[in-house]
Amino acid sequence: MGTSWKMTKTIAEARAFAGVLAAAAVPDGVQPFVLPAHTSLAAVRDCMPAASRVLLGAQNAHWAPEGAGTGEVSMRMAADAGARLVEMGHSERRELFGETDESVSRKARAAVDAGLIPLICVGEPSTVRECGGAEEFVTAQLTAALSRLRADEVAGAIVAYEPVWAIGEAGRAATRDEVSPVLAALCLEAARVGSGQGCRALLYGGSVTTANAEDLLDDPHTDGLFIGRAAWDVQGFLTFLDIAGRHAATAPGSSSARA
């Protein structure tokens, strides 16, 4: 269960959030993660106790180890600032900054080489959804993203399905019936590429709220949720952790942590 802060929060605001989160009890069966802006990553790390169960991540990093990449940070630099995972392939990065399936695959390879968990985002635009091609579109994205990883390395990746039409301020909340077939297809593809093991976790993101979170978690292929603005307030994030905790306690196979 995690959130990306996107382009929000000063260092002081990030520390305030982290301080409350660090003092809160994490429900059994839940793996929280938070993706601060690069400027706040080290500050959030320093607020968390050594034994914290909260994973920190970067919202982006370059595949090159170092060099002439003005404005970029490397995987090694992200890890040095406290990241345990790195997000890649988000639709905003694809649309606004030219990220491609090729660059996502390079980032996934570089993340694993740096000892980081790749958090790979996939999702179809509304035009693809309307013509019935969602499953084919997102499985192709996933196949490309994982193409540089060995089968055993796929098991360490996190995949977040975020339909483009469901994210952002103008996004429309998806129903479980709309996303369930796509999540099932992604689960099968991850298992195929990973020689039957699948990925570390399969998340859903897109207009997630406290009102629809539990229903979305009821999908049998959803291991957790990737939440946007509804979790940017720390009390909101803690509410989502409680929802996930209650769900994990009653779900079949509840001994495994839900992301």
Identify the weakest region by mean pLDDT among 11-20, 179-188, 243-252: 243-252
| CATH class entry, domain 2-250 | alpha beta
What single-letter DSSP state applies at residue 175? P
Residue 230, pLDDT score:
96
Tell me: pLDDT of 170 over 90.
Answer: no
Per-residue confidence (pLDDT) for residue 257, from 0 to 100: 60
The yes-or-no answer on residue 90 being catalytic is yes
pLDDT in tens, 209-235: 999 999 999 999 999 999 999 999 999
Q: Are 227 and 187 in contact (CB under 8 A)?
A: no
Output the pLDDT for position 253: 60
**Residue 153 in this model has a pLDDT that exceeds 70:** yes
Give the strand pairing for 158-161 and 33-35.
unpaired
Residue 258's pLDDT is 63
Neighbours of 20 (CB within 10 A): 15
Tokens 């320093």: give the residue.
Answer: 46
Residue 202, C-beta contacts closer than 8 angstroms, at least 6 positions apart: 158, 159, 161, 183, 186, 187, 190, 221, 222, 223
56 phi/psi in degrees, rounded to 5: -105, 150
Q: Is 62 designated active site?
A: no
Residue 48 pLDDT:
97
Mean pLDDT taken over the chain: 95
- pLDDT score for 255: 44
What is d(CA 109, CA 71) in angstroms, rounded to the nearest whole number? 21
- Phi and psi (nearest 5°) for 209? -130, 170
Evaluate whether 152 touches 200 at the Cβ level (below 8 Å): no
Q: How confident is the model at residue 169 (pLDDT cuts 50, 70, 90)?
A: confident
Residue 73 is which amino acid?
Answer: V
Instruction: Name the catalytic one among 162, 189, 221, 247.
Output: 162
Q: Quick check: 32 and 46 in contact, CB under 8 A?
A: no
Name the catalytic one among 62, 87, 90, 247.
90
**What value does the mean pLDDT take over residues 42-51?**
96
Comparing 255 with 195, the larger pLDDT belongs to 195
State what percent of residues in the chain have pLDDT above 90.
Answer: 93
How is the chain split into domains, by residue range?
Answer: 2-250
Give the chain's radius of gyration (CA, Å).
17
Q: Which H, E and C letters describe 25-79, residue by residue?
A: CCCCCECCEEECCHHHHHHHHHHCCCCCCCEEEECCCECCCCCCCCCCCEHHHHH
Find the mean pLDDT for residues 85-107: 97
Say if residues 105 and 148 touch (Cβ distance below 8 Å). yes
Rounded Cα distance between 78 and 247, Å, is 32
Say whether pLDDT at 236 is over 80. Answer: yes
